[in-house]
Amino acid sequence: MGRAYSTLQCLRSGDPRFTFARDGSFAVPPKYYPSSPDSRPMLPVVALVGRPNVGKSTLFNALTRTRDALVADLPGVTRDRHYGVCRLAAQPFVLVDTGGLSGERIDIDELTEKQVQLAIDEACACVLLVDAREGLLPQDRAVLERLRRAGKPVLLAVNKTDGVDAQAALAEFAALGVAATFAIAAVHKRGLDALLAELATLLPADAAAEPWAEDDTSDGVRVAIVGRPNVGKSTLVNRLLGEERVVVSDIAGTTRDSIQVPLERDGRHYVLIDTAGVRRRGRVEDALEKFSVIKTLQSIAAAEVAVVMLDAAESVTDQDLTLIGQVLEAGRALVIVANKWDGLAQYDRERCKAGLERKLDFVAWATIVFLSARHGSGLRELMRAIDRAASASARELGTADLTRSLEKAVAAHQPPLVRGHSPKLRFAHPGGQHPPTIVIHGTRTKSIADSYRRYLENFFRKRYRLEGTPVRIEFREGENPYAGKRNTLTESQQRKRQRMLRHVRGR
């Protein structure tokens, strides 16, 4: 069992493995891997704190220049901790977006409050966001008292000052007694320079600058964990990390945003993406849930391996099949996980296995792992299946070997006739990775039956041991150089044609 580094350790380490690319994804260049992130100088951490719906996620996106955090004009959208790196200041630092502190200690609010407290404890400085349009509320005072008890330096950012008198808003919030107070408009990115300049004075001066290169490429396996609501996705992420990284609750729809968490296990590096649960389209009415579904689909497209989680007690539902279809359409490697396996009797387990074999016959190449995310059983088999699927998806194939394999496949089973003629498959070459794509050139390939395409897919998958990944076959047919050209007869050919016509007419 390898060590699982926390998100904060990886980001603060200054290790270029855990920086963010321009699109907000983790960049993991294959330069070097120190024995521990703690062996390198740490980047300082700044936490964004405040009550719900004051614009923390909007400010997070503005400072990190990403769209990682889900933004909506509703309170309580953010529940987990979002980590990003801000490079707009003279010294880069880790920025943490947190959920709103509502003051209520029920259900999700209490779990969100624990995540906020973890962010405050690990931060070097905190930015308290307030709403200029709603004015000073008792909740703002309560959040400030929490920050003062933690002994952290605090900056006060009065957000949403566009369209209002900024000086009057600052005068109202002067009652909080925070010396460093700034009027900002996060949605328009106004007032951020002064805020960043003051933040630079609060951060440790001995923190090393973060190494960063624009041409860094990812070397960590990106794993998206998708499924219906309340099947145990967040529980699995926490179990793999060994910490309460994301909020877990029995309430369906707890996770609303896609959370990216780096992980090192058994000497291999991963980026786990915890996604929101996806329900049937007919049941999705809330606009926020629609955005959550969109981010889940984007996470599938950005991942290398998709882990589709099922509830073993419910076997395979239509929504599970729809999610698997989305993974296949994106061409991602696939691992199917039947969770909550520990609570089933022997009869129910046999029934579940029979249902999986029957309904998932169209993805028979995908590995099915039975585990319990709550108790941790089956995790080793899951990680091995992910490694095999990622390796197969990135397999590099050679043109000469593919052509020889194609000749063997055609010799064993000839393609069916097309209008009385047999298609000729001449040679094959690789067409890409993720998924492995094989391009086959020949004649009459446009009319090859789908059954023969599936035969070739299974043949190549078995020959190259492409387990856990779809294989795409593309047929290319050479153009006829004489298509559309009219053959002009010479004078001698025209005389012969006339004599032949007279002869035929005479008979």
Cis-peptide, bond into residue 229, ω within 30° of zero: no
- Rounded Cα distance between 79 and 108, Å, is 8
Order of all β-strands in the sheet with 181-183? 82-86, 93-97, 45-50, 125-131, 154-159, 181-183
Which tokens go with 68? 């990682």
Q: How far is CA 25 from CA 158, 216, 255, 271, 462, in A?
A: 29, 12, 19, 9, 33
> What does the pLDDT look like over 292-308, one tens digit per residue?
788 888 889 889 999 99
Which tokens go with 203? 């951060």
Which tokens go with 146? 């929490």
| SS (HEC) of 274-306 | ECCCCCCHHHCCCHHHHHHHHHHHHHHHHCCEE
- Rounded Cα distance between 476 and 425, Å, is 10
Q: Where are the alpha helices (DSSP H) in 103-228?
A: 107-122, 138-150, 166-173, 192-202
- Rounded Cα distance between 41 and 506, Å, is 102
CA-closest candidate to residue 409, choices 386, 438, 436:
438
310 with 280: CB under 8 angstroms?
no
Q: Where are the alpha helices (DSSP H) in 360-449?
A: 379-393, 399-412
- Rounded Cα distance between 142 and 337, Å, is 43
- Rounded Cα distance between 79 and 112, Å, is 5
How would you classify the pairing of strands 437-443 and 259-265?
Answer: unpaired
Residue 295: what pLDDT? 80
How would you classify the pairing of strands 181-183 and 154-159?
Answer: parallel
Q: Residue 486: what residue type?
A: R
What residues in the chain have per-residue pLDDT under 70? Answer: 1-42, 72-77, 103-108, 206-219, 249-257, 280-289, 480-482
- Rounded Cα distance between 49 and 140, Å, is 10
DSSP 163-187: TS-HHHHHHHHGGG--SSEEE-BTT
> What does the pLDDT look like over 138-185, one tens digit per residue?
888 988 998 999 888 999 999 999 888 888 888 989 988 888 999 999
Q: Residue 41: what residue type?
A: P
- Rounded Cα distance between 55 and 402, Å, is 55
Burial 230-268 (b: 16+ CB within 10 A, else e): bbbbbbbbbbbbeeebbbbbeeebbbbbbbbbbbbbeee
Which tokens go with 59? 């400010």
Residue 250: what pLDDT? 57
**Backbone φ, ψ for residue 65 (5° rounding):** 55, 45
Neighbours of 97 (CB within 10 A): 26
Q: How far is CA 262 from CA 248, 391, 443, in A?
A: 18, 19, 48
203 contacts: CB under 8 Å, gap ≥ 6: 44, 46, 91, 93, 124, 125
Question: Locate tokens 């808003």: which residue?
Answer: 169
Residue 437: what pLDDT? 94
473 sits in which H/E element: strand 472-477
Q: List, in sequence order, every residue forming a beta bridge with 438; answer none if it has no partner.
A: 430, 473
- Rounded Cα distance between 382 and 222, Å, is 14
Helix or strand or coil: residue 237? Answer: helix
315 contacts: CB under 8 Å, gap ≥ 6: 351, 352, 355, 356, 359
236 with 373: CB under 8 angstroms?
yes
- Rounded Cα distance between 337 and 369, Å, is 5
227 with 323: CB under 8 angstroms?
yes
Q: How far is CA 215 from CA 25, 27, 30, 40, 218, in A?
A: 14, 10, 12, 22, 10
Helix or strand or coil: residue 198? Answer: helix
Which tokens go with 205? 């001066």
Residue 243: what pLDDT? 81
